[in-house]
Amino acid sequence: MSSTSAEAFPGTGDHIARPRPRKPLHSQVSHLSHISNASDVNGSGSLELPENAISNGHATGATGTGTGTGTGTGTGTGTGVTSGRSTPVPVDAPPSVKVLSSARKQARAEQRRRIFPTIEFASRVSHFDPNSDYRDFHGFFNLFWIGLAIMAITTMLRNIKDTGYPLRVQIWGLFTVKLWHLAIADFLMVASTAVSLPMHKLFRAAPGGGLLTWSRGGMAIMSIYQVGWLALWIAVPFLLDWTWTAQVFLLLHTMVLLMKMHSYSFYNGHLSETEKRLRALDDPSTASRAPAYLYPTAENPGGTMASPKRPEARDKGEGSGPEDDEVAQLREDLARELTSPMGNITYPANLTWANYIDYLCCPTLCYELEYPRTAAIDWQNLISKIIATFGCIFLLTVISEEFILPALVDASQRLDPSLRTGDAPLTVLEVLLILAETISWLLFPFMLTFLLVFLVIFEYVLGAFAEITHFADRHFYSDWWNSTDWMEFSREWNVPVYNFLRRHVYSASRPHVGKANATVITFLISAVGHEIVMACITKKLRGYGFICQMLQLPIVMLQRTRLVRGKKTLNNVCFWCSMILGLSVVS
């Protein structure tokens, strides 16, 4: 039977049952047990004793000094071996004592080592699961670049084996043909856009109601100038017989500058008319009371007419009548429209050459009075983007030289009737087989080309210009790779162009033709732009780019039907298949 404290300590009589003291162990075993116990109890190498703590360096019992072995005696030093349990808390102990004892026991239980550690299981999904919130796949981005590096190294080694040179030079030589012509023409093209600033100052200085105000004659003058400007710089590469590489570069830069010039002219033209209305309200008796037009912004993408009769218009006038309140609110709406969202610049303080040149360099197609800026240039980031730009151009050239051009040349030779004998003409089946084989060869190279073009433009070139100009808004694209229809892709693939089309085409035409027709007009203008680019590359006007762009509208309508809508994986797979297959078929 187990002994009690009354038996061990006669006279105390606390009637509390305690475990029998253990026998003394060997000194070495006792020392190891002491170290193990101390580590398991508090995790820091020091032993945590029971609630009845040490007193004057001697171990104490429950009610006084004791003679029991294992916990020490009243006069001797302890052996360091304990029972492994805390002294029970009396039943009548205060709640604070009980809860502290319970907390200590729980802590020791949690930290006690196990021979077979437990594994924590919970309801979780994998990183690639559609319901997962995990979004960090930067390692795959690094793997993408490693794969491209392996491809480039393998290609160069094969070329050294076959030709003795690491690279072919058929496309590389195109970059240096008439390079000075390209540089001079590009400079003149940029300089010719600067006419927008003096012309706008002329429109602003014109008296209200005159022929040279923006609303009466300025808009028509600038529209005609921009159409003629675009036609001139599209024709220049054809007239000078440039290579397709130089022609595509100048054309893309022409499109960018056209949209920049249009946004600068039309937004400042709107501000000039707004300023005239604000000045006219100095004499409310003769001024127009029409609501102020708020130009489309990120927060107001559709552009709205501010209502001067809303509740905020009350008690803003100098007088007490409702007409005074209406005029005061109209003045406030017009003044806010003339002020930048950040409140640092007010029209016409932005009409300077420094502001115009800064706008040309900023990676945006929509003009604003002021943009958010970063505090300083991150030189490491800038240098890395410049290096990555030239790296992407190198890889694009390698892919075109090694995989795309040979496939196209081989297909053209096999389809050329003049190279075949009269007794072995091409059959329809042979033509279809040649086309199918060529398309299959081009699928993967064009997919890589598409991804590299996206990276070099939207991540590296625009990112570098944003770093140089301290441009803080670097939302140049969204997760377009998760697109489930072409409408979503058009919003997320090229955010600067999407913002321009929504602000200056869709929002400008919607009040006049309605939402559906405004959407068609927006896609129509986008399709014309794509066809112009395709025509400059192939130097033939075939309509492939226009047809493919306009086919997106019925495809979007089909994808939004009840049978297809909501099936994200299926729609995303269809999107990628049509994207990759379309590039190969058009080529």
Residues labelled catalytic: 530
What is the full DSSP assignment across 375-394? SS--HHHHHHHHHHHHHHHH
Closest residue by Cα to residue 449 from 583, 297, 552, 279: 583
Closest residue by Cα to residue 167 from 491, 401, 338: 401
Please give the helix or strand (H or E) that residue 554 lies within, else none. helix 552-559
Q: What is the DSSP letter of 400?
A: I
Report the C-alpha gap between 245 and 336 in whole angstroms.
46
**Please, are residues 549 and 523 in contact by the beta-carbon 8 Å criterion?**
yes
Angle at 547 between CA 409 and CA 237, to 5 degrees: 60
Q: What is the DSSP letter of 339?
A: B
Closest residue by Cα to residue 397 from 452, 454, 461: 452
Report the C-alpha gap between 264 and 275 in whole angstroms.
16
Task: State both tokens at 333.
Answer: 């709406």
Please give the helix or strand (H or E) that residue 304 lies within, else none. strand 304-305
In the beta sheet, which residues pair with residue 4? 17
Amino acid (1-letter code) at residue 129: D
Phi, psi angles (nearest 5°) of residue 4: -115, 170
Report the C-alpha gap between 395 and 450 in whole angstroms.
12
244-280 and 179-192 helices cross at what angle (nearest 10)?
A: 10
**Please, are residues 391 and 399 in contact by the beta-carbon 8 Å criterion?**
no
Report the C-alpha gap between 489 and 483 in whole angstroms.
6
3-class secondary structure, 314: coil
Task: State both tokens at 256.
Answer: 């960018």
Taken as a whole, the chain contains a residue count of: 587
Please give the helix or strand (H or E) that residue 294 lies within, else none. strand 293-294
Report the C-alpha gap between 472 and 231 in whole angstroms.
34
Q: Give the position of tokens 């997320």.
A: 492
Phi, psi angles (nearest 5°) of residue 294: -95, 115
